[in-house]
Chain A
Amino acid sequence: MSKKLLSLLSLLVVFATLLAACGSPAAPTAAPSGGGDTAPAQPAGKVTLRVLVHQNPPMVAFMEEFNKKFQEKHPNIVVDMSVVNANDLSTVSQTRLSANDIDVLDIFGFSNAAQPYMKQVDPPNWQQLIEAGLLMDLTGQDFLKYYDESALKDAGSYNGKVYAVNLGRVSYSGIYYNKKLFEQYNLKVPTTWSELVTACETFKAAGIPCMTAGGKDGWPIFVGAYGLIGSMYPDQAALVEGLWTGKIKWNDEKSLEMWQKMQVYARDMMEEGASGIAGDAAPGRFASGAVAMFPGGTWYAPAIEAAQPDFDWGYIPFPGSDNPEDNKYLFGKYDQGWAIAANTPNKEAALLYLAEFSDPANYQAFVNAVGFIPTQPTAQLNTKIGAEVAPYLANFRVGYEQYWVAPKGAGQFANPWASYFKPFGTDDDPKALADKVQADLQAGLDAVNK
């Protein structure tokens, strides 16, 4: 090969590389913002609709079935659904939205918004996504008419525009209990803290673990005790404001009682080995009848029923106080919702997907499958968990963690988590832990107030 030819070839390789490096795919046209009631149109050609959901077995099972029917009805649309762990949902959403690699995404109810009394806090991720123009404005879409206005406003709106359709509320401050075991040991379903302690002592004496949780995932251990915080501080928004303004401290007398009870919860009530149980496996363990109680969210109900359809269980608010009046609340959050990527090239198909999902018949089937407290006024939670929570729905309140934003500079212990106690953590002195938690919080408050 001549030297000239070699030179030419080298130059070609260099230019090809440069072109490959510098080139970028054409940016898709941004979807126009919503406005006026509109029904979605059919997409023109063959479309692959990319959908992202978080791992929740009954919900995923429902979605697979729904997708099948949706594709049968719209043969020109293929649904490509990805499932990620709930902990990774925000990360994957961010990266796939930034890469323009998603059309429809599952997004949790909007919460943790910065309040006027909070200083130097960063906006929550949903707000960051909206402000970056990555979520489509759904205002005026026809299917919104099926949903509660309050749910649209509280869980999916920002600056007066709707960016997400929330699909249901869940409670996480209740306890599932095994009715047969309670009857067998002549125990009253606990409505006070003392009754709960007595029940646990009875079960433990009989060699039956009192409570279980999916501790492998971390948060299920402490979320179970959020009801305990609720019975102490029923107004959770006021609790957050009090902590930020210094009116409430995690080591004051009232909070100290909460820590003492949390220690009993972690040390004496939770079964040994709970830290190794995966979140998905915990409902099955409870349904097996091996443990008497399971503090957890209403979203676990379908999994319990699927594991043991004949298993007889009930659901009560966590009785954290000795005054039954303090224990009548269910705390929770707005759970899953749908949003659409603003830059989706498949806008029609995405809107069609949400419209189809929002059809009251489909939504009712969804609620039945996942056990969410509905956000469509015509839907009914006519499932077992629906009947169990019905007496408490008037007392449903948004929980602490939906309001809480930690000040920058706060230490890693600035949270009311029962998992700090042994055997899951290292602490075994409630007073010392309360002081540590408050000191970690105070360090952040001092830093941002400087």
Chain B
Amino acid sequence: MSYHFGRGWSKLIPYLLLLPGLLFYFLIALGPSIATAFYSFTDATGIKGAPVHWIGFENYREFLFMGRASVDNLEALKRTLIFSVAVTFIQFGLGLFVALIVNQNLKGSNIFRTIYFMPVILGVVIQGLMWSLFLYPLGGPAAKLLSLLGLRSEFLGGPPAQAFAWVIFIQIWANMGITMMIFLAGLQTIPSELYEAARIDGANTWQLFANVTWPLLTPSVNTNLLLNIIGSLQAWQLFLVLVGYRNGTQVLGYLIYATGFGQTSGSVTSSFRQGYAAAASIVLFLLVLVIGMTVQYYLQRREARILG
């Protein structure tokens, strides 16, 4: 449907109506992003009134090439990619599997849908608190279960790889509900006649999934993949709540937060380095952009191939 606004000034009305929203977008989203790009070339501290000097690519040089810290930063980058790949694929697979199950005409399927979705609405702090209590090494439920097998663990406070694996698990638990709901919405748009026709043609369960469900779920697959990839690349709040700033567990998002707000050295008087953190943010942005665009390109081609 299109509206006709006549001639002269009236033609401008649609644009004027769009303007408030555009201004809001510039102020809230695009403006800060452009400012971040600008600040990445400065020694800004983030403190109101503090002088800001243009230092060119110095922050980038420090982040990517200076001493051992740059190697640690690249390690964090690598860890971010591992986190993203693990979270994306496991969450995607589990979300699809659970959506297929709760989409069946089962008794109480609505209750299961609610239970699986519930972690999403809890918020990161509550999620973190719940799991910190569950994984409390001195007599928490998980510790008691392990002790039945004669085992023990420090869980989140143990070796970094172990803590990192727990954060992956909790991130998936926390967000799998969204993936499930998107798939569920997709599944419910598939006409039942297609399944009936395929069954009449002799298709078994796997063939129904591979030839009817999977191709017609393409829009949901694309949405979920993109949301999972971008969300996991930017994730950092659960790291803050569950393990804090610990060597061997930082991902790029948390590194940026900790650097920007002076929490990297273990000292309460660390300096504020927002210019440096901005440079790290741009590196993360470029990473998300390259991966996001590549995946988007591939997914669009796939969608066109399957759905025409």
Residues of A within 8 A of B (CB): 3-4, 6-7, 10-11, 13-14, 17-18, 21, 86-87, 89-91, 94, 97-99, 108, 110-112, 122-126, 128-129, 131-134, 215-219, 222, 271-277, 401, 404, 406-415, 417, 420, 422-426, 439-440, 443-444, 446-447
Contacts and interface: CB of A to CB of B under 8 A. Distances in A.
Nearest to A131: B50
A122 B262 CA distance: 11
Contacts of A98: 46-48
B261 A94 contact: yes
A421 to B, nearest CB: 11
B245 interface: yes
B246 to A, nearest CB: 6
B69 A443 contact: yes
B68 A411 contact: yes
B304 interface: no
Contacts of B136: 273, 276
B10 interface: yes
A425 B159 contact: yes
A6 B68 contact: no
B138 interface: yes
For A21, A97, A276, A447, which residue has the most chain B Cβ atoms within 10 angstroms? A276
7 contacts: A90-B270, A91-B261, A94-B272, A98-B46, A124-B270, A218-B245, A274-B157
Contact of B9 (A7, A17, A124, A215): A7
A13 B20 contact: yes
Nearest to A414: B68
Contacts of A423: 154, 158-159
Interface in B35-85: 45-50, 62, 66-72
Nearest to A89: B268
A424 B47 contact: no
Given A215-B157, A276-B140, A14 B16 contact: yes
Contacts of A124: 269-271
A409 B276 CA distance: 13
A126 B269 contact: yes
A3 B70 contact: no
Contacts of A17: 19-20, 23-24
Interface string B1-45: 000011001101100110110011001000000000000000001
A128 B50 contact: yes
B263 interface: yes
Interface in B106-165: 132, 135-140, 143, 152, 154-161
Contacts of A126: 269
A426 B23 contact: no
Contacts of A447: 66-67
Contacts of A411: 67-69, 71-72
Given A3-B10, A124-B270, A273-B143, A412 B69 contact: yes
A245 B271 CA distance: 22
Interface residues of B, number: 61
B16 A276 contact: no
Contact of B5 (A3, A215, A222): A3
Contacts of B50: 128, 131-132
A10 B267 contact: no
B192 to A, nearest CB: 45
A89 B261 CA distance: 10
B244 interface: yes
A425 B266 CA distance: 16
Nearest to B47: A132
Contacts of B247: 412-413, 420, 425
Given A91-B261, A444-B69, 4 more contacts: A3-B10, A98-B46, A276-B136, A413-B247
Contacts of B67: 407-411, 443-444, 446-447
A310 B247 CA distance: 40
Contacts of A87: 244, 263, 268
For A123, A404, A411, which residue has the most chain B Cβ atoms within 10 angstroms? A411
A89 B20 CA distance: 37
Contacts of A4: 10
Nearest to A217: B244
Contacts of B62: 408-409
B69 A408 contact: yes
For A108, A111, A124, which residue has the most chain B Cβ atoms within 10 angstroms? A124
A409 B69 contact: yes
Given A91-B262, A132-B49, A10 B271 contact: no
Contact of B271 (A18, A123, A222): A123
Contacts of A425: 159-160, 247-248
A94 B160 contact: no
A128 B45 contact: yes
Contacts of A215: 157
B253 to A, nearest CB: 16
Contacts of A3: 5-6, 10, 13
A415 B5 CA distance: 68
B48 A409 contact: no
Given A129-B47, A276-B137, A426-B248, A415 B157 contact: no
Nearest to A426: B159
Given A10-B16, A134-B49, A273 B138 contact: yes
Contacts of A420: 247
B5 A424 contact: no
Contacts of A128: 45, 47, 50, 271-272
Contacts of B261: 90-91, 94
B273 A108 contact: no
A404 B62 CA distance: 20
A439 B268 contact: no
B158 A409 contact: no
Contacts of B262: 90-91, 94, 125
Given A14-B19, A91-B261, A410 B68 contact: yes
